[in-house]
Amino acid sequence: MQAMEESLPGVARDNAIQFDKLTTAEVAFGGLIDGVNPCAFTVLVFLVAFLAHAGRTRREIALIGICYGAAVFATYFALTVHFLELLRHLRNFEPFRHVLSVLGLLFCLFLAGAHARDAWRYRRTQEAAELSLRLPAFLQRAIHAAIRGRLRTGPLVGGAVVAGVGVACFESICSGQVAVPILWAIAQDPDLASTPYHSRALRALAVYNAAFILPMALVFGATLAGLGAPRLAALAKRHVATTHLLLAVFFSWMGLVLLLLFWRDFGAALYRASWG
């Protein structure tokens, strides 16, 4: 990719280099949006409600929050690193890379439209059943079982860590819709073509995952300050439409990024075909 960019005229090369790197703020915004999406927030509401029902003390809730959050961060970080490595290998196959870019663009446009529709539907009806993009029932059952099974009895630290790992794996099926476009954009960095785990990519993933667990940390802090599960659920319900609207904006933005990346590759290929 880098050699291809060097064959471009000066202005086109500058634009290509500008388009293939997400800024830290953009990566953090993606992680934050992922952390407040309805899939992740539904899990947080259930977790807080379960801890309250189980009669855990504030000290125990603080310990569970730290261990659970650390486990979620570590698991998400490992998953994103390995998925980025997969994408890094896939991008080396030029025709397949173009196909993935088009599929990624269509994926983002579909989700942008679906989240915009869900925002409109929920604002009109206030019914969660109207949402087309929500945590599937089988995932809800699996996540609830992981939390109940590990936090009801037994060592707090071990139970919180195991629950965090399990929930992160299950939840990634739903919340991964946000991470995938970010990872594909990061994988377009030409420096990653020859470096398995580039420090810049690892920093980007660390920022993304830190932003992802920030809402979780705030919720646990608010719980320790006295915010109960009913108030948390009411807060989440009031902002369902806003959250879906933000997700629609996010996927529209990522669709634009992927379009620019595709146009860069297409322009470079066209230039090489025309001028050798």
pLDDT tens for residues 6-49? 443 443 344 333 434 677 888 898 888 888 877 777 787 788 78
* Helix extents (H) in the chain: 2-6, 10-19, 24-36, 38-53, 58-90, 94-125, 137-151, 156-187, 199-224, 229-238, 240-275
Q: What pLDDT, on a 0 to 100 scale, did the predictor assign at position 15?
A: 38
Name the more confident of 2 and 259: 259
Lowest-pLDDT range of 113-117, 154-158, 200-204, 240-244: 154-158
Q: What pLDDT, on a 0 to 100 scale, did the predictor assign at position 209?
A: 92
269 pLDDT above the threshold of 60: no
246 pLDDT above the threshold of 60: yes
Q: What pLDDT, on a 0 to 100 scale, did the predictor assign at position 215?
A: 87
271 pLDDT above the threshold of 60: no
Q: What pLDDT, on a 0 to 100 scale, did the predictor assign at position 186?
A: 81
Query: pLDDT-derived band of residue 128, with 50, 70 and 90 as boundaries?
Result: low
The dihedral sign for the CA sequence 130, 49, 161, 30: positive
Tell me if 167 sits within 8 A of 143, measured CB to CB.
Answer: yes
Query: pLDDT-derived band of residue 132, with 50, 70 and 90 as boundaries?
Result: low
Q: What single-letter DSSP state applies at residue 153?
A: S
Lowest-pLDDT range of 1-5, 86-90, 181-185: 1-5
Whole-angstrom Cα distance, residue 79 to residue 158?
Answer: 21
Q: What pLDDT, on a 0 to 100 scale, did the predictor assign at position 76?
A: 92
189 pLDDT above the threshold of 80: no
Tell me if 16 sits within 8 A of 5, measured CB to CB.
Answer: yes
Q: What is the model's pTM?
A: 0.76
55 pLDDT above the threshold of 60: yes
Q: What pLDDT, on a 0 to 100 scale, did the predictor assign at position 225?
A: 79
Instruction: Quote the distance between the C-alpha of residue 23 and its chain's center.
Output: 16
Q: What pLDDT, on a 0 to 100 scale, did the predictor assign at position 47?
A: 82
Q: What pLDDT, on a 0 to 100 scale, did the predictor assign at position 75?
A: 93
Average pLDDT estimate for 140-168:
80
